[in-house]
Structure 1
């Protein structure tokens, strides 16, 4: 029976939001024959989230006991997933009930693709939703094509926190990059350059906006520009080398 792994990196202080994320995983309308697991990796020297994760029978929690950052935390979680597909869910975001089914249906319809990017709405502090425009056409995406947009605009046109990917492909590419910021963009440009993907038109997850959001902190913004240089340099090197990744 095929398995999809939902992967979440978390840190202490996110207990309430993590519980809501877990509840959203619990509502998933799984395609026939599929199973789901939720793999949570806790970052930081004082783990506290195990009781939250243990509420969910489909979930597994691990903590590494030191502050390593989101990229390393996701990569440690990746060592523990068993699914042939892995879906990224940030600890403060939520899945809509159709998230897994929409992703799996795209992989079934387009067997060659290695990644599926789904649409999100912003989830505002009062729990209302705000939609935002899709910057790239939905549908099948040939290798390298979406990165033409990335080169022109300076960053990818999709929100990388909503990706579902083939687990073996993520592992082959080394997982999330060791960038201080934009580690998911660095992974995505490699995925998109080397493999075909699919962008759905459906909204399947909610991107929470809140005062404790890491990306809203001044400290996060200080290294954002340098990190995006690293992303663009990685993309340029992939293009120059003309690498290919076979299915």
Structure 2
């Protein structure tokens, strides 16, 4: 498939409990100012098939909405890739909000630096009372060399020092790596680890994402903290990294030139 070079596809997985937040996510996307000649496409994929989500999808020709049998957010996002048109892929969870200028900053890096495969940006927790809290491990502005995310993740009890939900990447790279991992959680961390194994990224210190905290989010459920499952998720994510490390020819860009 040929992807449009001046289109960024924003991919969002949604399930029924988070459907009411789609309006705010849409408003944050519609407020983005892109460089001249650029467009965004919003691919929304429901993890399931309910009228509640269908009714919450905004009426906008730039939106491509799909449904399917439930398999978790990673499966939903990967299924959404079938409708992606842009050469660049931005993650936006259905309950999160893009900060003003986020897309333009991502694209400025990726178009100016062909050696960079992905970007991430500063994220703030958005609390139920409307206040925000900053993340305490943000790296400095600039390149994130291959393997940096993995080393930090292993040293900090399998917690990345970058919020995967703020990521923007080259669509071809995401597809080459198989999309999001087929895990019940941490599927976005698994993709981030894989991306940083094969190529350098770039961290943007300006705010790019407001990460909503609310009782219904998947990461707040007890199952997300189950020790056996968490250990298994980490083990398969690390195995993926090790397998990619063992393929030295699998790097982006393919040559140093």
User: Do these two structures clear the TM 0.5 threshold for a shared fold by scoring above it?
Assistant: yes
Cα distance between partner residues in 2 of 1:91 and 1:127: 17
Q: 1:188 aligns with which of 180, 189, 192?
A: 192
* Residue segments in structure 2 that go unaligned for 5+ positions in a row: none
Q: 2:245 aligns with which of 214, 230, 239?
A: 239
Aligned counterparts, 1:5-154, within 5 A: 5-64=9-68, 66-153=69-156, 154=158
Contact 2:23 2:56 in 1 (8 A): yes
Q: Matched residue of 1:48: which SS?
A: helix
Contact 1:47 1:63 in 2 (8 A): no
Q: 1:158 aligns with which of 135, 159, 162?
A: 162
- Compute the displacement of 1:171 (Å): 0.4
Q: Matched residue of 1:14: which SS?
A: helix
Structure 1 segments, 4+ long, off by >3 Å, are: 240-243
Contact 1:118 1:162 in 2 (8 A): yes
- Compute the displacement of 1:132 (Å): 2.1
Contact 1:2 1:33 in 2 (8 A): yes
- Compute the displacement of 1:243 (Å): 4.6
Q: Which moved more, 1:28-37 or 1:229-238?
A: 229-238
- Compute the displacement of 1:96 (Å): 1.4
Q: 2:8 aligns with which of 4, 11, 28?
A: 4
Aligned residues: 246
TM-score, normalised with respect to structure 1 = 0.93
Q: Matched residue of 1:90: which SS?
A: coil
Report the counterpart of residue 226 of structure 1 in structure 2.
232
* Residue segments in structure 1 that go unaligned for 5+ positions in a row: none
- Compute the displacement of 1:47 (Å): 4.2
RMSD (Å), alpha carbons: 1.7
Q: Matched residue of 1:174: which SS?
A: coil
Cα distance between partner residues in 2 of 1:146 and 1:106: 19
- Compute the displacement of 1:55 (Å): 2.5
